[in-house]
Chain A
Amino acid sequence: MIRVRDLIVRFDSVTALTMPALDIDQGEHVGIHGPNGSGKTTLMRVLAGLQEPSQGSVLGAPPPGRTVLVHQRPYLLRGTAAENVAYALKLHGRSPAEAGSWLERLGVSHIADRRANALSGGEHRRVVIARALAVEPEVLLLDEPFVALDEEGLETVNAAIAAFEGTIVIAAPDDLHDLDLRTVELQGSW
């Protein structure tokens, strides 16, 4: 269970995020709503352990590696799609040979040997999500994950994520349309 209490993140004099309280249970799926600049990305980064809060606390969030963030503008490492997934697997002591099956779950096994810089926007997204899922995280944070995905891609990704029972999934915004989703509204903090 993740507990957020009195969370404030400031960048110089600008308050990027205020969140008095948020509890997320194991296996729960949460959609984060809010206008531009309301702090959705900042909240994701704090939960991922990539951003220190200025004030308040986040309790129960597993460390990076067990909490995985898919960035708004995700980055694929140099190399092929399969090598990207293999990289994540190796970090967790698993066989890189599993990479193919993770790409298959996301419907992109046919591009396993294609270099990252030769992928289309939708393929890029699917490989990034395959790489994140391959880690089998306890908490999966998806920051605008479905940009560039077509309808079929959206269905495939949703199905792959839904198969992860027990994993906390937090998405901003909540395009996880086939999940039992709880919505959290963020207000602008300016």
Chain B
Amino acid sequence: MEFLWEGIKEAIRLIASGDRQVLHAGFVSVLCTVSALALAAALAIPYGAWLGLYRPRWSNLQALLLRVGMFVPTVVVGLVVYGLLSNHGLLGAADLLYTKLAIIVGEFLLAFPIIGSLTYAAVADLDLTALETARTLGASRWRAMWTMLGQVRVSVMTAFLMAFARCFTELGVAITVGGNLEMRTRTLASTVVLDLSRGRFSQAMAPGLILILIAILITAAALRIAQEQKR
């Protein structure tokens, strides 16, 4: 227990002193997660809504694939992206392997199914009358879709938070296609693993504490959103 407590104290000291490696790992984590989420949200929210509201051909299959995508292990996603970006891969010429962009691509693939699938489920659950009301009042299909997204905005925000949690804490993509390169592609989660493998428990605790703090913030935000839903 004392070992753990000492580790926590040292971790707090590292964070408070502005340890460059921890701060940079935090920066990489935030940059990659926010970029991937912004891109995923911009595409997955309209896609999920379109799928749920207008039921295009093969919509059930597409919804199923999104759901499967939610549960694919991060290391498998990393493997797929590695296959695409490695020298022999389809996008090998772009020379993106072991860069932040590679991590963003991988995290995009993690976030897209979560946001898409949960948005789909939320709008598919809406009463058909809601959509027809918007349409009969004169909304275009596109405008009606945005109106319906407004009706389920709490669910969409929850989906966004879930995707954020998955991307921010993931390890598989960061190591597989990020390469865990010091001061370049090292994220908070990959820092924890590396420091622990080197037997540096206190150093591993510092990014670990930040991850715990983020988890608390996400939980608080989710609870706040749940309260909003009751209004």
Contact = CB atoms under 8 A, between A and B. Distances in A.
Q: A and B: partners?
A: yes
Contacts of B132: 48, 50, 69, 71
B129 A48 contact: no
Interface in A71-107: 71, 73-75, 77-78, 87-88, 91-92
Most buried by A among B127, B132, B139, B151: B132
B138 A75 contact: no
A65 interface: yes
Contact of B151 (A69, A77, A92, A115): A77
B227 interface: no
B15 to A, nearest CB: 41
B137 A65 contact: yes
Chain B: number of interface residues, binned into ranges: 10 to 19
B136 A48 contact: yes
Contacts of B139: 65, 91
Interface residues of A, number: 23
B137 A91 contact: yes
Given A77-B150, A78-B150, A71 B137 contact: no
Nearest to B135: A64
Interface string A112-155: 00010000000000000001100100000000000000000000
Secondary structure of the A side of the interface? loop
Interface string B108-137: 000000000000000000010110111111
Contacts, number: 54
B147 interface: yes
A50 B111 CA distance: 35
A9 B135 CA distance: 21
14 contacts: A50-B132, A64-B135, A64-B137, A65-B137, A65-B138, A69-B132, A69-B136, A74-B129, A74-B133, A77-B130, A78-B151, A88-B137, A88-B138, A132-B137
Given A50-B136, A67-B136, A88-B138, 20 more contacts: A48-B132, A50-B135, A64-B136, A64-B138, A68-B136, A69-B132, A71-B132, A71-B133, A75-B130, A77-B133, A77-B147, A77-B150, A77-B151, A78-B151, A88-B137, A91-B139, A92-B138, A115-B231, A131-B137, A135-B137
